Amino acid sequence: MTTRSDTIQAALDWFDAGHFLAELRRRVARRTESQRSDAHDELLAYLEDEIGPALSGSGFAWRLLDNPSGGVPFLYAERHEDVNRPTILTYGHGDVVLGHDAQWRSGLSPWTVVVDGDRWYGRGTADNKGQHSLNLAALAQVLAARGSLGFNVKVLLEMGEETGSPGLRALCERERATFAADVLIASDGPRLSAHRPTLFLGSRGAFNFDLSVDLREGAHHSGNWGGLLANPGTILANAIASMVDGRGRILVEGLRPPPIPASVRAALADIEPGEPGGPEIDRDWGEPGLTPAERVFGWNALEVLAFRTGNPEHPVNAIPPRASAHLQVRFVAGCDHTAFIAALRAHLDRRGLAAVRVAAARSEVMRATRLDPGHPWVQRVAASIERTTGARPAILPNLGGSLPNDCFAEALALPTVWIPHSYPACSQHAPNEHLLGSVAREGLAIMTGLFHDLGEAAAAE
Protein backbone atom coordinates (compact mmCIF):
# COMPACT_ATOMS: atom_id res chain seq x y z
CA MET A 1 0.00 0.00 0.00
CA THR A 2 1.25 3.48 -0.86
CA THR A 3 2.26 5.34 2.27
CA ARG A 4 1.54 8.95 3.11
CA SER A 5 5.17 9.94 2.64
CA ASP A 6 5.30 8.09 -0.71
CA THR A 7 2.24 9.99 -1.93
CA ILE A 8 3.62 13.36 -0.89
CA GLN A 9 7.02 12.61 -2.42
CA ALA A 10 5.41 11.59 -5.71
CA ALA A 11 3.54 14.92 -5.73
CA LEU A 12 6.75 16.83 -5.07
CA ASP A 13 8.57 14.90 -7.82
CA TRP A 14 5.75 15.86 -10.21
CA PHE A 15 6.12 19.49 -9.13
CA ASP A 16 9.92 19.46 -9.44
CA ALA A 17 9.68 18.01 -12.96
CA GLY A 18 7.94 21.24 -14.02
CA HIS A 19 4.45 19.85 -14.55
CA PHE A 20 2.71 22.28 -12.22
CA LEU A 21 4.54 25.26 -13.72
CA ALA A 22 3.49 24.17 -17.21
CA GLU A 23 -0.10 23.86 -16.07
CA LEU A 24 -0.04 27.28 -14.43
CA ARG A 25 1.54 28.90 -17.49
CA ARG A 26 -1.28 27.61 -19.66
CA ARG A 27 -3.94 28.94 -17.29
CA VAL A 28 -2.32 32.33 -16.69
CA ALA A 29 -2.11 32.85 -20.46
CA ARG A 30 -5.91 33.03 -20.56
CA ARG A 31 -6.94 36.69 -20.13
CA THR A 32 -9.78 36.11 -17.71
CA GLU A 33 -10.27 39.74 -16.60
CA SER A 34 -13.81 39.81 -15.19
CA GLN A 35 -13.69 43.61 -14.93
CA ARG A 36 -13.65 43.80 -18.76
CA SER A 37 -17.14 43.97 -20.23
CA ASP A 38 -16.06 42.01 -23.33
CA ALA A 39 -14.40 39.10 -21.51
CA HIS A 40 -17.37 36.71 -21.38
CA ASP A 41 -16.06 34.23 -23.95
CA GLU A 42 -12.59 34.04 -22.36
CA LEU A 43 -14.09 33.55 -18.91
CA LEU A 44 -16.32 30.75 -20.15
CA ALA A 45 -13.47 29.11 -22.06
CA TYR A 46 -11.41 28.86 -18.87
CA LEU A 47 -14.12 26.63 -17.42
CA GLU A 48 -15.00 24.64 -20.53
CA ASP A 49 -11.58 24.20 -22.11
CA GLU A 50 -9.24 24.21 -19.11
CA ILE A 51 -10.77 23.22 -15.77
CA GLY A 52 -13.53 20.90 -16.97
CA PRO A 53 -11.22 18.59 -18.96
CA ALA A 54 -8.68 18.54 -16.11
CA LEU A 55 -11.38 17.40 -13.70
CA SER A 56 -12.67 14.81 -16.16
CA GLY A 57 -9.20 13.30 -16.16
CA SER A 58 -9.51 12.79 -12.40
CA GLY A 59 -12.85 11.04 -12.65
CA PHE A 60 -15.08 14.03 -11.92
CA ALA A 61 -18.39 14.61 -13.65
CA TRP A 62 -18.80 18.31 -14.36
CA ARG A 63 -21.37 20.71 -15.75
CA LEU A 64 -22.12 24.40 -15.93
CA LEU A 65 -24.74 25.98 -13.70
CA ASP A 66 -26.62 29.08 -14.82
CA ASN A 67 -25.66 32.23 -12.93
CA PRO A 68 -28.70 33.74 -11.16
CA SER A 69 -27.27 37.19 -11.90
CA GLY A 70 -27.19 36.49 -15.64
CA GLY A 71 -23.40 36.51 -15.73
CA VAL A 72 -20.88 33.81 -16.64
CA PRO A 73 -22.03 30.35 -15.49
CA PHE A 74 -20.41 28.49 -12.62
CA LEU A 75 -18.59 25.20 -13.03
CA TYR A 76 -19.72 22.42 -10.74
CA ALA A 77 -17.97 19.04 -10.57
CA GLU A 78 -18.40 16.03 -8.35
CA ARG A 79 -16.57 12.80 -7.61
CA HIS A 80 -18.75 10.54 -5.52
CA GLU A 81 -17.12 7.44 -4.03
CA ASP A 82 -19.19 6.31 -1.05
CA VAL A 83 -22.37 7.62 0.53
CA ASN A 84 -20.98 6.69 3.95
CA ARG A 85 -17.82 8.78 3.53
CA PRO A 86 -17.53 12.53 4.22
CA THR A 87 -17.97 15.07 1.44
CA ILE A 88 -15.60 17.98 0.91
CA LEU A 89 -16.68 21.09 -1.00
CA THR A 90 -13.84 23.10 -2.51
CA TYR A 91 -14.02 26.44 -4.30
CA GLY A 92 -11.90 28.73 -6.43
CA HIS A 93 -12.19 31.55 -8.93
CA GLY A 94 -10.60 31.68 -12.36
CA ASP A 95 -11.16 35.37 -13.02
CA VAL A 96 -8.47 37.96 -12.36
CA VAL A 97 -8.31 41.73 -12.01
CA LEU A 98 -7.24 43.85 -14.98
CA GLY A 99 -3.74 43.03 -16.20
CA HIS A 100 -2.48 46.65 -16.45
CA ASP A 101 0.13 45.33 -18.87
CA ALA A 102 2.09 48.59 -19.27
CA GLN A 103 2.66 48.93 -15.52
CA TRP A 104 4.59 45.70 -15.08
CA ARG A 105 8.34 45.68 -14.63
CA SER A 106 10.43 45.48 -17.78
CA GLY A 107 10.62 41.91 -19.02
CA LEU A 108 7.36 40.87 -17.35
CA SER A 109 3.85 40.38 -18.70
CA PRO A 110 0.67 39.59 -16.77
CA TRP A 111 -0.11 36.81 -19.25
CA THR A 112 3.22 34.96 -19.26
CA VAL A 113 4.60 33.23 -16.18
CA VAL A 114 8.19 34.38 -15.73
CA VAL A 115 10.33 32.65 -13.10
CA ASP A 116 12.84 34.90 -11.36
CA GLY A 117 14.43 33.05 -8.47
CA ASP A 118 11.63 32.01 -6.13
CA ARG A 119 9.13 34.41 -7.68
CA TRP A 120 6.73 33.22 -10.39
CA TYR A 121 5.31 36.37 -11.98
CA GLY A 122 1.95 36.53 -13.74
CA ARG A 123 -1.62 37.72 -13.23
CA GLY A 124 -3.52 35.09 -11.28
CA THR A 125 -0.46 33.18 -10.07
CA ALA A 126 -1.40 34.15 -6.50
CA ASP A 127 -5.04 35.12 -6.95
CA ASN A 128 -6.45 32.58 -7.61
CA LYS A 129 -5.35 30.36 -10.48
CA GLY A 130 -2.22 29.18 -8.70
CA GLN A 131 -4.12 28.37 -5.52
CA HIS A 132 -7.03 26.36 -6.91
CA SER A 133 -4.67 24.66 -9.37
CA LEU A 134 -2.57 23.40 -6.44
CA ASN A 135 -5.64 21.95 -4.74
CA LEU A 136 -6.89 20.21 -7.87
CA ALA A 137 -3.38 18.87 -8.50
CA ALA A 138 -3.22 17.47 -4.96
CA LEU A 139 -6.49 15.61 -5.50
CA ALA A 140 -5.09 14.19 -8.73
CA GLN A 141 -1.87 13.12 -6.98
CA VAL A 142 -3.74 11.22 -4.26
CA LEU A 143 -5.89 9.53 -6.88
CA ALA A 144 -2.81 8.54 -8.88
CA ALA A 145 -1.19 7.04 -5.78
CA ARG A 146 -4.18 5.27 -4.24
CA GLY A 147 -6.72 4.83 -7.03
CA SER A 148 -9.38 6.52 -4.92
CA LEU A 149 -9.69 9.44 -2.52
CA GLY A 150 -11.58 7.70 0.26
CA PHE A 151 -14.05 10.59 0.46
CA ASN A 152 -16.36 12.52 -1.83
CA VAL A 153 -15.47 15.87 -3.41
CA LYS A 154 -17.54 18.67 -4.90
CA VAL A 155 -15.87 21.51 -6.80
CA LEU A 156 -17.34 24.96 -7.41
CA LEU A 157 -15.46 27.42 -9.60
CA GLU A 158 -16.66 30.92 -10.44
CA MET A 159 -15.50 33.61 -12.84
CA GLY A 160 -16.72 36.75 -11.07
CA GLU A 161 -15.04 36.97 -7.67
CA GLU A 162 -13.08 40.08 -8.65
CA THR A 163 -16.34 41.88 -9.37
CA GLY A 164 -18.03 40.89 -6.10
CA SER A 165 -19.11 37.30 -6.93
CA PRO A 166 -22.44 38.28 -8.52
CA GLY A 167 -24.93 35.43 -8.25
CA LEU A 168 -22.81 33.23 -5.96
CA ARG A 169 -24.93 33.55 -2.84
CA ALA A 170 -28.16 33.14 -4.80
CA LEU A 171 -26.67 30.06 -6.46
CA CYS A 172 -25.76 28.54 -3.09
CA GLU A 173 -29.28 29.17 -1.83
CA ARG A 174 -30.82 27.70 -5.00
CA GLU A 175 -28.47 24.68 -5.12
CA ARG A 176 -28.26 23.98 -1.40
CA ALA A 177 -28.95 20.28 -1.90
CA THR A 178 -26.46 20.01 -4.76
CA PHE A 179 -23.66 21.58 -2.70
CA ALA A 180 -24.43 19.70 0.53
CA ALA A 181 -21.16 18.73 2.21
CA ASP A 182 -19.48 18.28 5.58
CA VAL A 183 -16.95 21.10 5.23
CA LEU A 184 -15.59 23.69 2.81
CA ILE A 185 -11.83 23.42 2.30
CA ALA A 186 -10.52 26.03 -0.13
CA SER A 187 -7.59 28.36 -0.77
CA ASP A 188 -7.37 32.10 -1.37
CA GLY A 189 -5.72 35.11 0.21
CA PRO A 190 -2.28 35.18 1.82
CA ARG A 191 -0.61 33.24 4.60
CA LEU A 192 0.34 35.17 7.69
CA SER A 193 3.88 35.13 6.28
CA ALA A 194 5.73 33.28 3.55
CA HIS A 195 7.36 30.93 6.07
CA ARG A 196 4.34 30.06 8.21
CA PRO A 197 1.54 27.79 6.96
CA THR A 198 -1.78 29.33 7.85
CA LEU A 199 -5.46 28.54 8.27
CA PHE A 200 -8.15 31.17 8.30
CA LEU A 201 -11.73 30.38 9.16
CA GLY A 202 -13.72 33.28 7.73
CA SER A 203 -13.18 36.85 6.66
CA ARG A 204 -13.89 40.41 7.64
CA GLY A 205 -16.78 41.99 5.81
CA ALA A 206 -16.47 45.02 3.54
CA PHE A 207 -19.00 47.85 3.47
CA ASN A 208 -18.29 50.85 1.23
CA PHE A 209 -20.08 54.17 1.44
CA ASP A 210 -19.95 57.67 -0.04
CA LEU A 211 -19.97 61.05 1.68
CA SER A 212 -20.74 64.24 -0.24
CA VAL A 213 -21.27 67.95 0.38
CA ASP A 214 -22.85 69.87 -2.51
CA LEU A 215 -23.51 73.51 -1.60
CA ARG A 216 -23.82 75.56 -4.78
CA GLU A 217 -23.25 75.86 -8.50
CA GLY A 218 -19.71 76.80 -9.49
CA ALA A 219 -16.62 77.87 -7.58
CA HIS A 220 -16.06 81.38 -6.24
CA HIS A 221 -12.90 83.45 -5.79
CA SER A 222 -11.37 82.78 -2.37
CA GLY A 223 -10.28 86.41 -1.96
CA ASN A 224 -13.67 87.90 -2.62
CA TRP A 225 -15.68 85.22 -0.86
CA GLY A 226 -13.31 83.58 1.62
CA GLY A 227 -14.84 83.82 5.10
CA LEU A 228 -18.33 84.35 3.64
CA LEU A 229 -19.05 81.05 1.90
CA ALA A 230 -19.03 77.65 3.58
CA ASN A 231 -16.31 75.44 2.15
CA PRO A 232 -17.51 71.89 1.27
CA GLY A 233 -13.99 70.51 1.64
CA THR A 234 -13.66 71.91 5.15
CA ILE A 235 -17.06 70.57 6.14
CA LEU A 236 -16.30 67.11 4.76
CA ALA A 237 -12.85 67.00 6.38
CA ASN A 238 -14.44 67.76 9.74
CA ALA A 239 -17.12 65.13 9.16
CA ILE A 240 -14.50 62.48 8.52
CA ALA A 241 -12.46 63.64 11.52
CA SER A 242 -15.56 63.17 13.68
CA MET A 243 -15.82 59.54 12.50
CA VAL A 244 -12.22 58.39 12.86
CA ASP A 245 -9.52 60.19 14.83
CA GLY A 246 -5.96 61.02 13.87
CA ARG A 247 -4.79 57.65 15.19
CA GLY A 248 -7.31 55.57 13.25
CA ARG A 249 -9.70 54.91 16.17
CA ILE A 250 -13.35 54.60 15.12
CA LEU A 251 -15.49 57.26 16.84
CA VAL A 252 -18.93 56.24 15.51
CA GLU A 253 -20.36 53.90 18.12
CA GLY A 254 -22.51 52.09 15.55
CA LEU A 255 -19.42 51.13 13.52
CA ARG A 256 -17.53 49.60 16.44
CA PRO A 257 -17.64 45.82 16.93
CA PRO A 258 -18.60 43.86 20.03
CA PRO A 259 -15.78 42.82 22.38
CA ILE A 260 -13.33 40.29 20.97
CA PRO A 261 -14.35 36.77 22.10
CA ALA A 262 -11.93 34.97 24.41
CA SER A 263 -11.44 32.13 21.90
CA VAL A 264 -10.43 34.65 19.23
CA ARG A 265 -8.01 36.43 21.58
CA ALA A 266 -6.44 33.08 22.45
CA ALA A 267 -6.05 32.11 18.79
CA LEU A 268 -4.38 35.45 18.01
CA ALA A 269 -2.03 35.40 21.00
CA ASP A 270 0.98 34.14 18.98
CA ILE A 271 0.10 35.89 15.71
CA GLU A 272 2.36 38.70 14.52
CA PRO A 273 1.25 40.33 11.24
CA GLY A 274 3.77 41.72 8.80
CA GLU A 275 6.16 40.48 6.17
CA PRO A 276 9.77 41.30 5.25
CA GLY A 277 9.62 43.64 2.30
CA GLY A 278 6.14 44.82 3.23
CA PRO A 279 5.24 48.15 4.85
CA GLU A 280 6.22 48.70 8.48
CA ILE A 281 3.29 48.37 10.85
CA ASP A 282 2.28 51.59 12.64
CA ARG A 283 2.17 50.38 16.22
CA ASP A 284 0.16 53.35 17.53
CA TRP A 285 -2.51 53.19 14.82
CA GLY A 286 -6.05 51.87 15.38
CA GLU A 287 -7.92 50.87 18.49
CA PRO A 288 -5.87 51.48 21.66
CA GLY A 289 -5.11 48.49 23.85
CA LEU A 290 -5.19 45.91 21.06
CA THR A 291 -2.30 43.95 19.60
CA PRO A 292 -1.62 44.35 15.87
CA ALA A 293 -3.18 40.92 15.27
CA GLU A 294 -6.32 41.87 17.18
CA ARG A 295 -6.61 45.13 15.24
CA VAL A 296 -6.56 43.46 11.82
CA PHE A 297 -8.24 40.13 12.58
CA GLY A 298 -10.50 40.90 15.56
CA TRP A 299 -11.63 44.52 15.14
CA ASN A 300 -13.21 46.90 12.66
CA ALA A 301 -11.35 49.47 10.57
CA LEU A 302 -12.74 52.64 8.98
CA GLU A 303 -10.64 53.64 5.98
CA VAL A 304 -10.75 56.75 3.79
CA LEU A 305 -10.12 55.39 0.30
CA ALA A 306 -10.62 58.59 -1.70
CA PHE A 307 -11.26 62.30 -1.01
CA ARG A 308 -11.82 64.98 -3.61
CA THR A 309 -12.62 68.68 -3.54
CA GLY A 310 -11.73 71.42 -6.00
CA ASN A 311 -9.15 70.49 -8.63
CA PRO A 312 -6.34 68.53 -6.90
CA GLU A 313 -4.20 68.32 -10.05
CA HIS A 314 -4.39 72.06 -10.77
CA PRO A 315 -5.54 73.97 -7.67
CA VAL A 316 -6.99 77.45 -8.16
CA ASN A 317 -7.81 80.25 -5.72
CA ALA A 318 -11.48 79.41 -5.52
CA ILE A 319 -13.85 77.97 -2.94
CA PRO A 320 -15.09 74.69 -4.47
CA PRO A 321 -18.82 74.08 -4.74
CA ARG A 322 -18.70 70.46 -3.65
CA ALA A 323 -16.60 67.73 -2.03
CA SER A 324 -16.86 63.94 -1.92
CA ALA A 325 -15.19 60.99 -0.29
CA HIS A 326 -15.36 57.22 -0.56
CA LEU A 327 -14.90 55.25 2.67
CA GLN A 328 -14.94 51.62 3.73
CA VAL A 329 -15.67 49.70 6.90
CA ARG A 330 -13.88 46.38 7.25
CA PHE A 331 -15.97 44.65 9.89
CA VAL A 332 -15.83 41.43 11.86
CA ALA A 333 -18.53 38.89 12.67
CA GLY A 334 -21.11 40.19 15.13
CA CYS A 335 -21.67 43.51 13.33
CA ASP A 336 -24.91 44.41 11.53
CA HIS A 337 -23.81 46.20 8.38
CA THR A 338 -27.43 47.05 7.51
CA ALA A 339 -27.40 49.51 10.44
CA PHE A 340 -24.22 51.34 9.39
CA ILE A 341 -25.85 54.06 7.27
CA ALA A 342 -28.39 54.93 9.97
CA ALA A 343 -25.61 55.08 12.57
CA LEU A 344 -23.58 57.41 10.35
CA ARG A 345 -26.55 59.67 9.65
CA ALA A 346 -27.39 59.99 13.33
CA HIS A 347 -23.73 60.65 14.18
CA LEU A 348 -23.46 63.48 11.63
CA ASP A 349 -26.76 65.06 12.62
CA ARG A 350 -25.78 65.17 16.28
CA ARG A 351 -22.73 67.20 15.28
CA GLY A 352 -24.60 69.70 13.13
CA LEU A 353 -23.32 68.20 9.88
CA ALA A 354 -26.64 67.83 8.10
CA ALA A 355 -25.04 69.17 4.89
CA VAL A 356 -23.03 65.94 4.58
CA ARG A 357 -24.92 63.32 2.64
CA VAL A 358 -24.15 59.66 3.27
CA ALA A 359 -25.12 56.76 1.01
CA ALA A 360 -24.15 53.14 0.61
CA ALA A 361 -21.89 52.61 -2.41
CA ARG A 362 -23.04 50.52 -5.32
CA SER A 363 -20.40 47.84 -4.69
CA GLU A 364 -21.65 44.56 -3.25
CA VAL A 365 -21.35 44.10 0.50
CA MET A 366 -19.24 41.14 1.60
CA ARG A 367 -20.49 39.81 4.90
CA ALA A 368 -18.27 38.92 7.85
CA THR A 369 -17.88 35.30 8.94
CA ARG A 370 -15.87 33.49 11.58
CA LEU A 371 -15.59 29.84 12.64
CA ASP A 372 -14.57 29.00 16.20
CA PRO A 373 -10.88 28.00 16.23
CA GLY A 374 -11.75 25.03 18.41
CA HIS A 375 -14.02 23.45 15.79
CA PRO A 376 -13.14 19.76 15.13
CA TRP A 377 -12.54 20.38 11.41
CA VAL A 378 -10.06 23.12 12.26
CA GLN A 379 -8.15 20.84 14.57
CA ARG A 380 -8.18 18.00 12.06
CA VAL A 381 -6.78 20.16 9.26
CA ALA A 382 -4.22 21.84 11.54
CA ALA A 383 -2.96 18.46 12.75
CA SER A 384 -2.49 17.26 9.17
CA ILE A 385 -0.55 20.40 8.20
CA GLU A 386 1.70 20.04 11.25
CA ARG A 387 2.31 16.40 10.34
CA THR A 388 3.44 17.46 6.84
CA THR A 389 5.50 20.53 7.71
CA GLY A 390 6.62 19.82 11.25
CA ALA A 391 5.22 23.19 12.39
CA ARG A 392 1.91 24.16 13.93
CA PRO A 393 0.14 26.44 11.46
CA ALA A 394 -1.08 29.91 12.34
CA ILE A 395 -4.84 29.76 12.92
CA LEU A 396 -6.68 32.99 12.15
CA PRO A 397 -10.36 33.15 13.17
CA ASN A 398 -10.87 35.26 10.05
CA LEU A 399 -8.88 36.88 7.28
CA GLY A 400 -8.32 40.63 7.51
CA GLY A 401 -9.59 40.98 3.95
CA SER A 402 -12.92 39.92 2.49
CA LEU A 403 -14.07 36.84 0.60
CA PRO A 404 -17.52 35.51 -0.34
CA ASN A 405 -17.26 33.07 2.57
CA ASP A 406 -20.77 33.94 3.76
CA CYS A 407 -22.10 31.99 0.76
CA PHE A 408 -20.68 28.83 2.32
CA ALA A 409 -20.82 29.60 6.05
CA GLU A 410 -24.35 31.05 6.00
CA ALA A 411 -26.19 29.97 2.84
CA LEU A 412 -24.82 26.39 3.04
CA ALA A 413 -24.25 26.34 6.83
CA LEU A 414 -20.80 24.75 6.44
CA PRO A 415 -17.71 24.97 8.63
CA THR A 416 -15.17 26.77 6.45
CA VAL A 417 -11.41 26.18 6.50
CA TRP A 418 -9.17 28.14 4.13
CA ILE A 419 -5.54 27.14 3.48
CA PRO A 420 -3.81 29.99 1.61
CA HIS A 421 -0.87 29.30 -0.71
CA SER A 422 0.22 32.91 -1.19
CA TYR A 423 1.91 35.48 1.06
CA PRO A 424 1.27 39.14 1.99
CA ALA A 425 3.83 40.73 -0.36
CA CYS A 426 2.63 38.89 -3.50
CA SER A 427 1.43 42.14 -5.20
CA GLN A 428 -2.06 40.69 -5.50
CA HIS A 429 -4.24 43.02 -7.65
CA ALA A 430 -1.15 45.09 -8.52
CA PRO A 431 1.49 45.03 -11.24
CA ASN A 432 4.12 42.29 -10.78
CA GLU A 433 1.78 39.85 -9.04
CA HIS A 434 3.67 36.68 -8.18
CA LEU A 435 3.54 33.33 -6.47
CA LEU A 436 6.50 32.03 -4.49
CA GLY A 437 7.66 28.72 -5.91
CA SER A 438 8.70 27.52 -2.45
CA VAL A 439 5.26 28.26 -1.00
CA ALA A 440 3.55 26.60 -3.95
CA ARG A 441 5.66 23.48 -3.51
CA GLU A 442 4.92 23.33 0.21
CA GLY A 443 1.26 24.03 -0.53
CA LEU A 444 1.09 21.00 -2.81
CA ALA A 445 2.67 18.87 -0.08
CA ILE A 446 0.21 20.22 2.51
CA MET A 447 -2.87 19.57 0.38
CA THR A 448 -1.67 16.14 -0.77
CA GLY A 449 -1.02 15.17 2.85
CA LEU A 450 -4.39 16.54 3.93
CA PHE A 451 -6.35 14.69 1.26
CA HIS A 452 -4.43 11.50 2.04
CA ASP A 453 -5.25 11.91 5.74
CA LEU A 454 -8.95 12.58 5.09
CA GLY A 455 -9.26 9.39 3.07
CA GLU A 456 -7.34 7.41 5.66
CA ALA A 457 -9.50 8.72 8.52
CA ALA A 458 -12.71 8.06 6.60
CA ALA A 459 -11.66 4.46 5.98
CA ALA A 460 -11.01 3.96 9.69
CA GLU A 461 -14.41 5.30 10.80
Per-residue pLDDT tens over the stretch 45-76: 999 999 999 999 999 999 999 999 999 999 99
**Residue 268: per-residue pLDDT:** 94
Whether residues 316 and 444 share a domain: the answer is no
Residue 451: CA count within 13 A, CB half-sphere = 32
**Could you tell me the CATH number of the domain that includes residue 330?**
3.30.70.360
**Residue 127: per-residue pLDDT:** 97
Whether residues 79 and 197 share a domain: the answer is yes
Whether residues 114 and 36 share a domain: the answer is yes
Q: Which of 360, 386, 410 is the last residue of a domain?
A: 360
Whether residues 185 and 289 share a domain: the answer is no
Whether residues 49 and 188 share a domain: the answer is yes
Domain limits for position 442: 4-203+369-460
In a domain, 60, yes or no: yes
Whether residues 234 and 94 share a domain: the answer is no
In a domain, 117, yes or no: yes
Answer yes or no: are the C-beta atoms of 148 and 381 closer than 8 Å.
Answer: no
User: What is the number of domains present in the chain?
Assistant: 2
Whether residues 128 and 187 share a domain: the answer is yes
In a domain, 279, yes or no: no
353-379 residue pLDDT tens = 999 999 999 877 889 999 999 999 999
In a domain, 276, yes or no: no
Q: Which of 306, 340, 360 is the last residue of a domain?
A: 360
In a domain, 47, yes or no: yes
**Residue 454: per-residue pLDDT:** 97
**Could you tell me the CATH number of the domain that includes residue 404?**
3.40.630.10
Answer yes or no: are the C-beta atoms of 145 and 12 closer than 8 Å.
Answer: no
**Residue 362: per-residue pLDDT:** 80
CA distance 232 to 219: 11
CA distances from 311 to 307, 355, 442 (A): 11, 21, 50
Whether residues 293 and 243 share a domain: the answer is yes
Q: Which of 338, 360, 382 is the last residue of a domain?
A: 360
Whether residues 318 and 306 share a domain: the answer is yes
Whether residues 327 and 380 share a domain: the answer is no
In a domain, 378, yes or no: yes
Return the percentage of the chain with pLDDT > 70, whole number.
100
Whether residues 119 and 261 share a domain: the answer is no
In a domain, 274, yes or no: no
**Residue 114: per-residue pLDDT:** 98
Query: For the whole model, what pTM was predicted?
Result: 0.90
- Tell me which residues of the chain have a pLDDT lower than 50: none
Whether residues 44 and 190 share a domain: the answer is yes
In a domain, 248, yes or no: yes
